[in-house]
Amino acid sequence: MPSDAWNAFIESPGPKVVSAGAGPLGGRRLAVKDIYDVAGYVTGRGNPDWKGEASPAARTAPSVQVLLDAGAEFIGKTQTDELAFSLTGDNAHYPRPVNPAAPDRVTGGSSSGSAAAVAAGLADIATGSDTGGSIRGPASFCGLIGLRATHGLISLEGTMALSRSLDTFGWFARDMELYERVASLLLPDSDARFTRVMRLPEMEALLLGPDEREVYETMLAKARSVTGASADIALESLDVDQRYWCFRNIQAHEAWREHGAWLSAKDRNLGPGVKERFDYGATIDLQAFEEETRRRQNLTREVEDLLGDDGLILMPTMPGAAPLAKASFEAIQDYRERALRMLCLSGLTGLPQLTLPMATVSNAPFGLSLFGPAGSDRALLRLGRRILDLVHGS
């Protein structure tokens, strides 16, 4: 395992993991978030109790195996927030991963170690997952490319589930050429053409302040020089707060359904925030979950109709730069609640969202997102490449 001053890794590789050594990812270093099975290793899930009780995986998660079969070299398991149920990158049981792009700020989570490993140059590719924003948030915070793929397109076999109707496989990389190379192995191609460009003022209102708004408008102008002019839109079926609660209640109910029996068997010493989120999930009954699911379906139909097969929404990925690592627990929780109001649209609808490392604010990375129709993932990546080429002057 590479020297890790960034607290990115939880376990180094051994002889049981086999890479093809050749292929489109030959010579590329791969780090794997510790919710994905890798043959011969215990999948720790960010919780020492789980790691101490579990057996080593018999086989590697198929989506990870695809990357190994393409020649990627496994270099280690990376940290995850506890049971992947957090957005900050802070696990009470392990040293906090350091954000290489802004060392005084958090990496974001729950794919914290993977984002740190790629941003630090320790890995070329690192797998993560995105349930509530755990690819998009860390990518924006650490200056990386990150796609929340269309829900269900990439296999989650051999993966710890958190909220099955929201969970997605994802990965980080620093450059679009490599990101698209991975996408070509995991995702079907798309011939989507984005001829109608939109923006959501209600999302932009969640930006932290005037500095963030100014930088966002600059990013938006650069993107629109590639995509064309945009029109303001509003969503009618659920407002920002209603979407947040719909997302939170569905996620919490499914997370408790997934892990409640294990958590109830004895005290698992969950860290602050994570414990409260699971406790909340125990209070969401089936009737409430089904009502939220109906609301979610109405929202999804509205957004799908709005996008059609050629619509694109431009939006901020996060409210601003990553919170300072020394910020209070309460301040980071406040940021989290604001961020989830931005992030939950993609999760609730299952539609793809790509964050691009476009700018900085407060001397830290800040991303712009492209949000498109179901299955348009690789078309979003091609558009993202054109935008980044413009930003970098190539």
Catalytic residue numbers read: 33, 110, 134
Contact 133, 111 (CB under 8 A): no
Residue written as token pair 């190379």: 181
> What residues are paired with 33 via a beta bridge?
78
In the structure encoding, which two tokens stand for residue 376, read together?
A: 């348009």
With CA atoms as reference, report the closest residue to 49 among 266, 254, 280, 273. Answer: 266
Contact 82, 46 (CB under 8 A): yes
- Give Cβ neighbours of residue 92 (< 8 Å, ≥ 6 apart): 82, 270, 271, 272, 274
Read off the amino acid at residue 319.
P
Contact 367, 318 (CB under 8 A): yes
Sign of CA dihedral 177, 178, 180, 181: positive
